[in-house]
Amino acid sequence: MALTHSKLTAQGQISVPSEIRKKLGVGPGSVIEWDEKDDEVIVRKAGRHTLADVHEALFPDGNTKRKATVGAKEGIRTHIRQKHARR
């Protein structure tokens, strides 16, 4: 069930409904990010990363063995660069 609806303009713009802005804690000048996963699009306040995002960055191959801190930081750095790369 949808929370609310927005209408797309001819320029490809939408208005973010007030309930969603309040939930995300965003206002004028805030940056939101769009992410695609399977058949869904996820909208969130930029800079927020879920535990799943961090887990994927640390263990991209599914291997959950402990890594050195340096390896973990490099894994996160690589994941964030790939995720935010301009395409």
pTM: 0.47
Residue spans of the domains in the chain: they are 1-46, 49-87
For residue 29, give both structure tokens.
Answer: 């000048």
Query: Cα(76)–Cα(47) distance, rounded to whole angstroms?
Result: 13
Is the distance from CB of 16 to CB of 26 less than 8 angstroms? yes
Query: Cα(44)–Cα(42) distance, rounded to whole angstroms?
Result: 7
DSSP state of 11: T
DSSP state of 62: S
Give Dmax (Cα) for the chain. Answer: 50
Q: Which CATH architecture has domain 1-46?
A: Ribbon (2.10)
Summarize pLDDT for 17-50 with one digit per residue, the tens. Answer: 998 889 888 888 888 888 888 999 888 888 766 7
